Chain A
């Protein structure tokens, strides 16, 4: 399975933008890049996903490098509610394992008031 590398932790001030990086140098052409987050004492929740182009939704933006070996999740204005563990996950669209969500250790984001 293609693997991802994320920093263990990051801090942000409230109401400032946050850029969460993810390296996936062994990504294949059929791997989608997904982001989930897990708030304290809750189950993971979907944030965003993309394949090649940058993506925006109401929660965040996903910037994907041209060579697809890295991506960045962007929270435009961090709030206290955004304090969570953020997981960058690759999902293979080509094979029988496309259902797999393989969680790594993620990045623990702390938001400072």
Chain B
């Protein structure tokens, strides 16, 4: 099993540009999560999908952030326009279900730098 796949691994962009982060969850998993990690705030949940439907997006910082899951094997997190304060490591995770005993498997992350 390849695990959760994220691309790109590193992204450097200029303020105002659009950024798209991609995630392929583990096959057969029905739940997908996007997290952001910064030194100041640690790991935070941005959005959670179940069966491709967004269930909880209360962690999405503002309207500049959007996430989609068009099918069970692909999700995107888009930032438009990007700002320097969006610089962080963004993790995608998936789990079979979203029960309290289900393990979440994390991808390697995308390190985003906005100049």
Question: Size band of the B side of the interface?
Answer: 20 to 34
State how many angstroms separate the Cβ of B102 from the closest Cβ of chain A.
8
25 contacts between A and B (CB under 8 A): A43-B93, A44-B91, A44-B104, A44-B106, A45-B105, A45-B106, A46-B104, A46-B105, A49-B101, A91-B100, A93-B100, A98-B98, A98-B99, A98-B100, A99-B31, A99-B33, A99-B48, A99-B50, A99-B99, A99-B102, A100-B45, A101-B45, A102-B45, A103-B43, A105-B42
Which residues in B have their C-beta under 8 angstroms from that of A99? Answer: 31, 33, 48, 50, 55-56, 95, 98-100, 102
The total of Cβ contacts below 8 Å across the A-B interface reads: 53
Contact with A along B84-108 (1 / 0, CB 8 A): 0000000101010011111111111
Which residues in A have their C-beta under 8 angstroms from that of B93? Answer: 43-44
Q: Is the interface of A mostly helix, strand, loop or mixed?
A: loop
Query: Chain B interface (Cβ within 8 Å of chain A)?
Result: 4, 31, 33, 42-45, 48, 50, 55-56, 91, 93, 95, 98-109
State how many angstroms separate the Cβ of B1 from the closest Cβ of chain A.
14
Which residues in A have their C-beta under 8 angstroms from that of B105? Answer: 45-46
- Closest A residue to B99 by beta carbon equals A98
CA distance A98 to B104 in the complex (A): 12
- Find out whether the CB atom of B100 lies under 8 angstroms from the CB atom of A92: yes
Which residues in B have their C-beta under 8 angstroms from that of A92? Answer: 100
CA distance A105 to B38 in the complex (A): 11
- Closest A residue to B56 by beta carbon equals A99
- Closest B residue to A98 by beta carbon equals B100
Q: Which 9 A-B pairs have the closest CB atoms?
A: A43-B106, A99-B98, A103-B43, A93-B100, A98-B100, A91-B100, A46-B103, A43-B91, A32-B100
- Find out whether the CB atom of A104 lies under 8 angstroms from the CB atom of B91: no
Which residues in B have their C-beta under 8 angstroms from that of A44? Answer: 43, 91, 93, 104, 106
